[in-house]
Amino acid sequence: MADLERIRLVILGGAGVGKSSIIKRFLFKTYTDKYRATVEDLFNREYDLGGVTLKVDILDTSGDMQFPAMRRLSIATAHAFMLVYASTSASSFQCVKQCFEEIREQRADYQDIPIVIAGNKSDLANTHREVRLEEVTDWVYCELPRLRAKVLECSAKEDQNVTDLFKTLLSLSRFLPVGSNNDGTSGLKRRSSAYVSASSSRNKNRNASTSVSGDKASSLFEAADPSTGSGVVKLKPRSRSLIRRASRKTKQQINNASDDCNFQ
């Protein structure tokens, strides 16, 4: 039986910066201009790493501050963070700074946690830029304590650097080699994937799963093609109570162990 590694990536940032768009562009190669406020969405995927199974949870959080308890729990259970701002909004960068302060206050190990600061909407930066990349890098590398962090600009709409965001997170987490000349996906085969929405009570349940093996297995950073029904099966919806129980269980595990995912 393959060994198990698990990593939870938590996406934080202000409302409307494109957190959900980044995730859906990466996972499903889809994009929409229609905005829908997120309460909390959880995406689950499994990958083969040559005898080791890597389970990846991607948690999409709310952009407002109406759910402080959920926010604290997401920060407490994270193995890595993506802090998203819009390069067209100076206030969204201030929100990223606030998110980092929350991480620093709650996590004594914040200097060891992989963090990617993502500047979305770079496709609009030529005409509507309010946040310069140099301003962000100066804040991260000059003003803050030494971190395991990297700054990247991206565009979910144009699919620019979206894959690099997640590849960088796993590289900082030491699941992938840093500075690799190729895409870093050699030998990484996706086993299955699932999507769970904690806010599905307001919308129709959305669940998808793909399972592939052998020579036809997709790489870690290759999203499933939603236009083909190949290998896609529906999962039973997971209730909000089940998600809350899972969250409590995870929180208990955090209290019992300083880190349940080996980054070293």
Give 93's pLDDT tier (boundaries 50, 70, 90).
very high
Instruction: Say what the pLDDT of residue 4 is.
Output: 66
SS3 per-residue string spanning 110-167: HHHCCEEEEEECHHHHHHHCCCCHHHHHHHHHHHCCCCCEEEEECECCCCECHHHHHH
The stretch 236-257 carries a mean pLDDT of 50
Which domains occur in the chain, in start order?
A: 3-256 (3.40.50.300)
pTM, two decimals, is 0.69
Cα–Cα separations (whole angstroms), residue 191 to 173, 197, 211, 260: 20, 21, 6, 21
pLDDT digits (tens, 9 = 90+) for 133-145: 999 999 999 999 8
CA distance 154 to 119: 6
Residue 24 pLDDT > 80: yes
Residue with tokens 């914040």: 110
The stretch 23-33 carries a mean pLDDT of 93
Give 114's pLDDT tier (boundaries 50, 70, 90).
very high
pLDDT digits (tens, 9 = 90+) for 173-193: 877 655 544 444 433 444 444
For residue 242, what are its two tokens? 């089940």
Q: Which of 1 and 51 is assigned the larger pLDDT?
A: 51
The stretch 96-125 carries a mean pLDDT of 96
Q: Which of 147 and 40 is assigned the larger pLDDT?
A: 147
For residue 201, what are its two tokens? 């009570």
Residue 247 pLDDT > 90: no
CA distance 89 to 100: 17
Give 29's pLDDT tier (boundaries 50, 70, 90).
very high
State the average pLDDT for the chain.
Answer: 75
Instruction: Say what the pLDDT of residue 78 is.
Output: 95
